[in-house]
Amino acid sequence: MPIYEQTYRRWEAPRLRGGRWLAVAAQELRVARTSALYRRLLLLSCVPFLICLFLLLVTDLMTTNPSMLLRSLVRQVQFTNIDARFFRMYISMAMPFSFIFCLLVGAGSICNDYRNNLLEVYFAKPLSKGEYFFGKLAAVCYVPLCLTAAPALGLYLLHMLFSPGTAVAFARESYWVPAACVALSAAAVVPTALFIMACSAVSRSTGFASVIACALLFMNSAFGNVLAEVLRIHNLRCLSYTRSLVYLGDLLFGGRTRITLHWGYVAAGLVAFSVLCALIVLRRIRNVEIGS
């Protein structure tokens, strides 16, 4: 047999439980947890949840108090009302921390592997670029979703437990709140994670990727607001990524807004933006894939 027809036997690794992308995500999070800044910010990010939990407990305990005067006084304070706006308030408080964690994990997710030649090591294994991509995306989205959607659902369940007398009525009136919390959290976290990964894919360092991401978001927000003010068309504010998220939150949780644009256009814009960022990342890693 000619020597050029001979090759090494293909290595068939046992399939990991849950998929190979979990190994990529676990490795990315393992590296991120070694940072002292990561651990300190993780503790600091619990502050919004603790504040909302304190308000929820105080409100539930006082509204279940037999005193009608105390109950009426608490209900007159709009800030302590446990309704859909309460959960929207929590997600808004947790959103800056989720963006910071997207930067901490996602800014170096692609550029560090490319600079240290780790992409060749990854793809020398039986790992496809799709599994690598979804593993990195899961690692970037994991903590931000745990800071937004998961605590919001926990607060919803705790309110049901601490106010059993009104739990049935609350569930009947606000049955859609958990789905709205998950939808708003996903709409904010997933495009942001893909955007930061795209910035990491076009840069050579973590700091440069962070600067690019923050600068582009600032310019996008300024452009949308200035254009809306100059042309006096409020719907043009949705050209800003952050304003689009605020508008979706207003629609999902019943807030007041001066924008009359249909939500489908905003959702389509976020999907197109996410697809563009994903294509940038996939284009970056496609040239170094040497395994399937």
For residue 66, pLDDT over 60 is answered with: no
In terms of Cβ atoms closer than 10 Å to its own Cβ (0-12, 13-18, 19+), residue 215 is exposed
Angle at 175 between CA 173 and CA 178, to 5 degrees: 135
- Percentage above 90 pLDDT, the chain: 53
Going 48 to 54 to 57 to 61, the CA torsion angle's sign is negative
For residue 102, pLDDT over 80 is answered with: yes
Q: 241, 217 in Cβ contact below 8 A?
A: yes
Q: 125, 218 in Cβ contact below 8 A?
A: no
Q: Which pLDDT band holds residue 180 (cuts at 50, 70, 90)?
A: very high
**What's the rounded mean pLDDT across residues 96-125?**
87
Look up residue 222 and give its two tokens: 């300024």
pLDDT digits (tens, 9 = 90+) for 139-176: 999 999 999 999 999 999 999 888 877 788 888 888 99
For residue 13, pLDDT over 60 is answered with: no
More confident position, 184 or 57 = 184
- The phi, psi pair for 164, rounded to 5°, reads -65, -25
| 252: three-class secondary structure by DSSP | helix
More confident position, 188 or 14 = 188
- Percentage above 70 pLDDT, the chain: 86
**What's the rounded mean pLDDT across residues 44-60?**
90
pLDDT digits (tens, 9 = 90+) for 203-229: 988 999 999 999 999 999 999 999 999
Residue spans per domain, the chain? 23-286
Check residue 291 and give its pLDDT. 45
Check residue 19 and give its pLDDT. 74
CA–CA separation, 114 vs 89, rounded Å? 39
Angle at 183 between CA 179 and CA 185, to 5 degrees: 120
Check residue 95 and give its pLDDT. 95
Check residue 105 and give its pLDDT. 93
Q: Report, in this order, helix, strand and coil percent for the chain, each rounded to 5.
A: 75, 0, 25
Length of the chain: 292
Check residue 8 and give its pLDDT. 47
**What's the rounded mean pLDDT across residues 15-19?**
56
For residue 1, pLDDT over 50 is answered with: no
Q: Mean of the per-residue pLDDT values for the chain?
A: 85
**What's the rounded mean pLDDT across residues 112-127?**
80
Selection from 153, 45, 142, 154 nearest residue 93 by Cα: 45
For residue 4, pLDDT over 50 is answered with: no
For residue 67, pLDDT over 50 is answered with: yes
Q: What letter does residue 240 receive in the DSSP assignment?
A: S
